[in-house]
Amino acid sequence: MNSELPAVDLALGALRALLRDARVAFRIVGGVAVVHHGYARTTEDLDVLVAKGAAAHIDVALAAHGFERVGPNRLRHVASGVRVDVLVAGEPLPRAGDGVYPSPDDLGSSERDAEVAGLRGLIELKLRARRHQDTADVVALLKRLDDGRYVELEASVERSLRRALALLRVDAIEEARNER
């Protein structure tokens, strides 16, 4: 493990405990969710999608779980220094015109861990965000899917995102072929 990277795993347990204690709906998204779904990569922060109005409930329990608020949508785990980006349902996505963050319930959850975004919801978030890392994450996740699982995924993704998903599937197939 790179000693210069913050201890995300330490902060993740504390974050889950904080959000459970605050009794807010949430889903773990971002790099940790990508790793959960099978693409091993590093991440230096945590990203969590919370229900609208969750901030007041979270703030009451911050100190008890070792966190401090360092911005309107950012927390810091004091012991590890890990940054937590809090994505709030109903607030605008990173790029103008791409809509708003869905509710944690609308995002869905992983079959293996109900607190982590399901693959469909995670991919939809990443397709909407359109950042380079998000695109790379989608390609990496798609490489892991056989044709049947991909067809099932494509059918479940919001119709407006299917073309972008299909184009990234072509990239994923090509990259997987080149890795053999």
Query: Across residues 163-170, what is the average pLDDT?
Result: 96
pLDDT band at 96; cut points 50, 70, 90:
low
pLDDT in tens, 15-55: 999 999 999 999 999 999 999 999 988 899 999 999 999 99
In a domain, 1, yes or no: no
Residue 80 domain boundaries:
8-179
- Per-residue pLDDT reduced to its tens digit, 44-80: 999 999 999 999 999 999 999 999 999 999 999 999 9
- Position 179 scores a pLDDT of 85
Q: What values do phi and psi take at 156, rounded to 5? A: -90, -20
Which letter does DSSP use for residue 102 in this model? P
Query: Has residue 151 been placed in a domain?
Result: yes
| Distance (Å) of CA 16 to CA 26, 59, 85, 106 | 9, 14, 14, 19
**Which CATH number do you get for residue 13?**
3.30.460.40
pLDDT grade for 1, boundaries at 50, 70 and 90: very low
pLDDT digits (tens, 9 = 90+) for 143-165: 999 999 999 999 999 999 999 99
In-domain check, residue 83: yes
Residue 12 in domain: yes
> Quick one: DSSP state of residue 81?
-
Angstrom CA distances, 85 to 48, 70, 121, 162, stand at: 6, 10, 18, 27
In a domain, 172, yes or no: yes
Q: Has residue 150 been placed in a domain? A: yes
Domain count, the chain: 1
What percent of the chain is modeled with pLDDT above 70? Answer: 96
Domain-located, residue 123: yes
* Of 18, 25, 14, 19, the residue nearest 50 (C-alpha): 25
| Residue 2, domain member (yes or no) | no
